[in-house]
Amino acid sequence: MIDTQTITDHERWAGIYKLLDRTSLIHPEFEPQEEIKEFIKSCKILVIGAGGLGCEILKNLALSGFCDIHVIDMDTIDVSNLNRQFLFRRADVGKPKAVTAAEFINKRVQGVTVTPHYCKIQDKDEDFYQEFALVICGLDSIEARRWINATLVGFKGQARVILPGITSCYECSMDMLSKPTGFPLCTIANTPRLPEHCIEWASVLEWPNKHGERKMDTDDPKDIQWLYETALARAKQYNIQGVTYSLTQGVVKNIIPAIAATNAIIAASCCNEALKIATTCAKNLDNYMMYSGNDSVYTYTFQHQRKEDCPVCSNSVSKLEFGGDKTLEDFMDYLKEKPDIQLKRPSFAIGGKPLYMQAPKQLEEAMRPNLAKPLKDLFSNGDEVTITDSTLPFSMQIQVTFL
């Protein structure tokens, strides 16, 4: 065996050092400097999420020569992760993702230190995030992405470069997300047609009926089995076909199909940009790349524009027109469905005075009558309404003009 001491940066990183030692005529601004190599080794970089994208990102950064990498993730390993989260083995099921991933990379790639943080992103304060030169975000939850965007500087997943104050931010592009798939309550309750309607009935209406205060644990096979059987019975009653265990799980956990190949593409794009930004060896992506592989391979690179009234990266107030005769409940339903806002359980206030609060329970009950009142009885035309929601990392101000 060869003594591992003989590994030299020059030989090991030959591919990357060609980029760093040689000038470019298509990017003449770049000046090769030894300091750049030192910077890659010493700069602190944070990876958010140690899931499908996170595993790929950690590997890519380690093999790009970054030596001081941190990773933050609150999750533990599930058996369904193994088809793509390649730093985990069957024996690791149940262990924290951040810790297991860090151990694997530290063992595999000599000279790299990955520091795990097994906690929620919200558990860390602003000072923690400010320590890092770069942040790469490999999250699949819209809520978490929103939170990170409102909290820190950096750039993030989905092959997108966000330079605060320069490019558009995550919140600017909320309207590009597809509408969350939800089914109207009256369909679920009265006129089910699809197997999904029966599953929603079991989880939304029948679960609280039968289990009272106990919350559903979608990771517990027993709970899924109960939902499956309950949905199946309802489907039989209505002559609806297609309720399966797998579909039940898919609907209640809102499962997005995922494979290693797609994660690899997105993660590699992000890390390619990270290396370009850290070294300036080539121009960075400005600022958005989409990838589609259903029919052939298609990538689309474009400059996403900032939103003038973005609640995060601009200081202006959003404006909205809405019927003054419509009720607060109508208004709430409208905001829940609006793709660029995406609220789950919004609370409303006007000039610091609450109009409707989702919690605590007593307050909710006391203010519930307001939901049935027309907006014009609750505030005046042109007033600014403050909206808070558990999905929002900030409070949103909307100026409402009555139609």
Partner 1 sequence: MDAKTQKYDRQLRLWGNSGQEALESAHILLVNATAVGCEILKNLVLPGIGQFTVVDQGTVTQNDIGSNFFLDSESLGKSRAERACELLGELNEDVKGHSVAKDILAVLTETPRYLAQFSMVIATDVTRQTAEKLAALCWLNGQESGTTSGLKSTDSPAGKKETTFVWVKTAGLLGSARIAVPEHTIVEAHPENVADLRIDTPFPELVDYAKAFNFDTEDTLEFGHIPYVAILLKYMDEWKQQHHGKIPSTYAEKNQLKANIRSGMRSGDDENFDEAINSVLRSCQPTVVPSSIKELFADAKCVNLTSESANFWILTRAVKDFVDNTEKSGGLLPLSGTIPDMKAQTDSYVTLQSIYKTKAKHDVQEVSKIVEHLLESLGLASGSISLQEIESFCKYSAFLKVIRFRSLEQEYNQPKAQQIGEGENWEDDVDPLHVHVATLLQSWAVEGDAVSKELTHEVCRYGKGAVHNIASFMGGVVSQEIIKLITHQYIPLDNTFIFDGARSVSAVYAV
> What Cα–Cα distance (Å) separates residue 392 from each residue in 15, 51, 332, 370?
43, 23, 15, 22
Site membership for partner 1, residue 181 (CB under 8 A): no
Site membership for partner 1, residue 82 (CB under 8 A): yes
Asked if 293 contacts 263 with a C-beta cutoff of 8 angstroms, the reply is no
Site membership for partner 1, residue 202 (CB under 8 A): no
Kindly state the smallest distance separating residue 154's Cβ from partner 1, in Å. Answer: 18
Of 29, 35, 90, 362, the one binding partner 1 (CB under 8 A) is 90
Kindly state the smallest distance separating residue 224's Cβ from partner 1, in Å. Answer: 9
| CA geometry: angle 269, 115, 117, nearest 5 deg | 95
Kindly give, in sequence order, each residue whose CB lies less than 8 Å from that of residue 372, ignoring residues fewer than 6 positions away: 327, 328, 329
Of 39, 86, 322, 394, the one binding partner 1 (CB under 8 A) is 86
Q: Specify the residue, 25 or 35, whose C-beta has the smaller distance to partner 1.
A: 25
Site membership for partner 1, residue 26 (CB under 8 A): yes
Site membership for partner 1, residue 31 (CB under 8 A): no
DSSP state of 196: H
Based on the residue annotation, tell me whether 186 is a catalytic residue of this protein: yes
Number of residues that bind partner 1 (CB under 8 A): 82
Site membership for partner 1, residue 79 (CB under 8 A): yes
Provide the mask over 5-24, with x wherever binding to partner 1 is found by CB under 8 A and - wherever it is not.
Answer: --xx--xxxxxxxxx--xxx
| CA geometry: angle 293, 299, 300, nearest 5 deg | 140
Site membership for partner 1, residue 222 (CB under 8 A): no
Site membership for partner 1, residue 178 (CB under 8 A): no
Distance of CA 52 to the CA centre of its chain: 13
Catalytic site residue from 55, 172, 186, 313? 186
Of 34, 213, 295, 308, the one binding partner 1 (CB under 8 A) is 295
Provide the mask over 248-287, with x wherever binding to partner 1 is found by CB under 8 A and - wherever it is not.
Answer: -xx----xxxxxxxxxxxxxxx-xxx-xx-----xx-x--
Kindly give, in sequence order, each residue whose CB lies less than 8 Å from that of residue 87, ignoring residues fewer than 6 positions away: 50, 55, 58, 59, 100, 101, 104, 105
How many Cβ atoms are within 10 Å of 382's Cβ, its own excluded? 10
Site membership for partner 1, residue 136 (CB under 8 A): no
Give the total residue count for the chain. 403
DSSP state of 224: H
Query: Catalytic positions, please?
Result: 186
